[in-house]
Amino acid sequence: MAPRPRRLPPEKPTNVKEAIKNIFGLLMGYKLKLSITVICGILSTVFSVISPLLIGLATTAIFDGINSGNMNLEYIINLLITVVILYIISAVFSYLQSYFLLEITTDISYNLRKELIEKITHLSMGEMDKNTRGDILSRITNDVDSLQTGLNQTFNQLLSGVITIVGVTIMMLSINIWLTLATIVLIPIAFLIITFVTKHSQDYYTKQLTYRGSLNGQIEESFTGHEIIRSYNQEEQSMETFREDNENWYEQEWKSKFYSSLSAPLMNFISNFQYVIIAVLGAVFVLQNAIAVGDILAFIQYSKNFTTPIQQITRVMNMVQTAMAASERIFGFLEIENEENPSKEKIEKINDSITFENVTFGYTKDEPVIKNLTFTAKKGEKIAIVGETGAGKTTIVKLLMRFYDVDDGEIKIDGVNINSYDKHSVRSLVGMVLQDTWLFNDTIYNNIKYGKLDATEEEIISASKEAHADHFIRQIPEGYQSELNEDVDNISHGQKQLLTIARTIISNKQILILDEATSSVDTRTEKIIQKAMDKLMEKRTSFVIAHRLSTVRDADKIIVIEDGRIIEQGSHEELLEQKGYYYNTLNTQRRENIV
Q: Distance between CA 362 and CA 404 in Å, rounded?
A: 10
User: What DSSP element (H or E) covers 408?
Assistant: strand 408-413
Q: Distance between CA 563 and CA 368 in Å, rounded?
A: 9
Q: In whole angstroms, how far apart are CA 60 and each of 46, 55, 163, 425, 450?
A: 22, 9, 27, 82, 78
Q: Distance between CA 136 and CA 569 in Å, rounded?
A: 42
- According to the model, what pLDDT value does residue 411 have? 92
Report whether pLDDT(92) > 90.
Answer: yes
What's CA 269's distance to the chain center, in Å?
41
Report whether pLDDT(51) > 70.
Answer: yes
Report whether pLDDT(581) > 50.
Answer: yes
- CATH 1.20.1560.10: which residues of the chain? 16-334
> For residue range 165-206, what is the model confidence (pLDDT) as tens digits?
888 888 888 877 888 887 777 667 766 766 676 666 666 766
Report whether pLDDT(595) > 70.
Answer: no
Report whether pLDDT(2) > 50.
Answer: no
Pick the more confident residue, 4 or 220.
220
- According to the model, what pLDDT value does residue 593 have? 58
Angle at alpha carbon of residue 317, lines to 311 and 320, rounded to 5°: 140
Q: Distance between CA 134 and CA 112 in Å, rounded?
A: 18
Report whether pLDDT(79) > 90.
Answer: no
Q: In whole angstroms, how far apart are CA 164 and each of 50, 172, 222, 569?
A: 11, 12, 50, 81
Report whether pLDDT(513) > 50.
Answer: yes
Q: Distance between CA 329 and CA 464 in Å, rounded?
A: 45
pTM: 0.66
- According to the model, what pLDDT value does residue 96 have? 92
Q: Any bridge partners for residue 541, and if so which?
A: 511
User: What DSSP element (H or E) covers 378?
Assistant: strand 370-378
Do 357 and 409 form a contact (C-beta atoms < 8 A)? Answer: yes
- CATH 3.40.50.300: which residues of the chain? 351-429+543-595
Quick one: average pLDDT of 18-43?
Answer: 86
- Give the CATH number of domain 16-334; options: 1.10.3720.10, 1.20.1560.10, 2.60.40.10, 3.90.226.10: 1.20.1560.10
Share of the chain above pLDDT 90, in %: 8
Angle between helices 16-27 and 73-122 (to 10 degrees): 100
Identify which of 211-225, 282-296, 492-506 has the greatest average pLDDT: 492-506
As assigned by CATH, the class of the 351-429+543-595 domain is alpha beta
Residue 89 pLDDT grade (very low, low, confident, very high; cuts 50, 70, 90): very high
Query: Which has the minimum average pLDDT: 104-118, 458-472, 501-515, 522-536?
Result: 522-536
> For residue range 376-417, what is the model confidence (pLDDT) as tens digits?
999 888 898 988 888 888 888 888 888 888 889 999 999 899
- According to the model, what pLDDT value does residue 36 have? 92
To the nearest whole number, what is the mean pLDDT of the chain? 80
- Please state the length of the chain: 595
Report whether pLDDT(10) > 60.
Answer: no
Q: Distance between CA 120 and CA 498 in Å, rounded?
A: 29
Pick the more confident residue, 561 or 249.
561
Report whether pLDDT(247) > 50.
Answer: yes
Quick one: average pLDDT of 277-290?
Answer: 77
Quick one: average pLDDT of 210-233?
Answer: 70
Pick the more confident residue, 455 or 220.
455
- According to the model, what pLDDT value does residue 508 have? 85
Question: What 3-state class would DSSP assign to 343?
Answer: coil
Quick one: average pLDDT of 415-422?
Answer: 90
Question: What 3-state class would DSSP assign to 42?
Answer: helix
Pick the more confident residue, 360 or 520.
360
Report whether pLDDT(563) > 60.
Answer: yes
Query: Which has the minimum average pLDDT: 128-142, 217-231, 356-370, 531-545?
Result: 217-231
- According to the model, what pLDDT value does residue 488 have? 58
Pick the more confident residue, 288 or 506.
506
CA dihedral 427, 428, 433, 435 (to 10 degrees): 30
- According to the model, what pLDDT value does residue 189 have? 72
Query: Which has the minimum average pLDDT: 3-7, 211-215, 463-467, 495-499?
Result: 3-7
- According to the model, what pLDDT value does residue 519 have? 58
Report whether pLDDT(8) > 50.
Answer: no
> For residue range 133-158, what is the model confidence (pLDDT) as tens digits?
777 888 888 888 888 888 887 787 77
